[in-house]
Amino acid sequence: MGHSLGKEQQNFLRHLAQVRHMSPNTLRAYGTDLRAFLSWLPRGNGTPTRLQIRRYLVDLQDRGLKATTIQRKLAAIRSFFRFLREHRGLSEDPAKLVKGPKTPSRIPRFLTEDEIDQLLALEFDKDFFGSRDRAILEFLYSTGCRVSEAANLPLASLDLHEGTVRVLGKGRKERLAMLGSAARQAIEDHFSSRATLLSEQRRQDSGILFLNRRGGPLSSRWILEVVQRHAKRAEIPTRLTPHGLRHSFATHLLDRGADLRTVQELLGHERLVTTEIYTHVSMGRLRDVYDQAHPHGKYRRSRKKPN
């Protein structure tokens, strides 16, 4: 390798942006994590060793960083050295066998089907904002899309007749999502007020579905605000986010018999293991239903073994 690690870091980030099409937020996080690691290393020491990487992780733990944060930083380091090995002639990957701290399994927050019904049964104004907000909620729950995917959704990707939408997900990978009848109707109802707003604002149509009050694309932050405002109106006890609607979408599909591979495809997960967390959620729901419905359900689970 003919360049310093600092210069190779720039090559790596350029590769992530141009080849792997990572988002600006992910690129910033990778850049920050790698700069911190490279600054920690002794100067003029060449390629770091596996032991040095492990010591760095221990140092992060000693500073009180959470296991999830350390795992994120390790992921950046692993990706960097994998890039150097595959594209820049590094003979051995020092990060390949390094393991980070164990992270507690996190069960995603989701709404029950009754809570979803409660949210989507809200009354909305018939103006631009009311029809847009209703369309956003119906779209997120119907498709399971990420908030960034919804914020940048082109009108051209919608096929309301077929009830489908082409979604450009992480890594610019395209997938097909489904639009239920309620979501289709909500989007159709919104088109008229959307056109009126653009006319009043004298704005050329950007071709993006969800717009702000000035006729420009609606940001992810404002979609979050829309979801939280109406969740509060519906008296939902859980702090709801667009990702919470995505979790609800996946959990309810599995609860009603969808297979894991189908849910993986609809969510746009690259690896099945990412989708498998929802099986834990559904298993918990199954246990609750069993306890409530089976005459000896709770008794058998709590009964002490005989001496």
Q: What is the mean pLDDT of the segment spanning 296-305?
A: 52
Residue 276: Cβ within 10 Å count? 13
What total number of domains does the chain contain?
2
Is 208 inside any structural domain? yes
Is 305 inside any structural domain? no
Highest mean pLDDT among 142-146, 167-171, 295-299: 142-146
Q: What is the pLDDT, as a whole number, of residue 12?
A: 92
Q: Say whether 280 is catalytic.
A: no
Catalytic choice (132, 134, 146, 247): 146
pTM: 0.65
Residues 83 and 119 in one domain: no
Q: What is the pLDDT, as a whole number, of residue 2?
A: 43
Helix (H, G, I), strand (E, B) or coil at 211: strand
Residues 36 and 118 in one domain: no
Is 93 inside any structural domain? no
Report the distance separating Cα 208 and Cα 112, nearest Å: 31
Q: What is the pLDDT, as a whole number, of residue 276?
A: 75
- CA nearest 82: which of 74, 98, 93? 93
Q: What is the mean pLDDT of the segment spanning 92-121?
A: 85
Is pLDDT of 162 > 90?
Answer: yes
- CA nearest 60: which of 37, 83, 88, 85? 37
Query: Average model confidence (pLDDT) for the chain?
Result: 87
Q: Say whether 78 is catalytic.
A: no
Q: Say whether 28 is catalytic.
A: no
Residues 118 and 61 in one domain: no
Residues 63 and 208 in one domain: no
Is 37 inside any structural domain? yes
Query: Considering the chain, what percentage of its residues have pLDDT values greater than 70?
Result: 87
For the ranges 58-67, 193-202, 267-276, the lowest mean pLDDT is seen at 267-276
Residues 33 and 81 in one domain: yes
Q: Say whether 300 is catalytic.
A: no
Residues 118 and 79 in one domain: no
Range(s) of the domain holding residue 43: 5-87
Q: How confident is the model at residue 191 (pLDDT cuts 50, 70, 90)?
A: very high
Residues 121 and 239 in one domain: yes
DSSP-derived secondary structure for 73-130: HHHHHHHHHHHHHHHS--SS-TTTT---------PPP---HHHHHHHHT----SSHHH
Domain ends where: 53, 70, 87? 87
Catalytic choice (30, 56, 141, 278): 278
Q: Say whether 170 is catalytic.
A: yes
Q: Say whether 243 is catalytic.
A: yes
Residues 225 and 119 in one domain: yes
86: exposed, middle or buried (Cβ count in 10 Å: 0-12, 13-18, 19+): exposed
Catalytic choice (15, 20, 170, 175): 170
Catalytic choice (73, 194, 246, 252): 246
Give me the half-sphere count of Cα atoms (radius 13 Å) on the Cβ side of residue 80.
29
Is pLDDT of 296 > 70?
Answer: no
- The per-type count for the chain, helices as H runs and strands as E runs, is 14, 3
Residues 66 and 137 in one domain: no
Q: What is the pLDDT, as a whole number, of residue 303?
A: 46
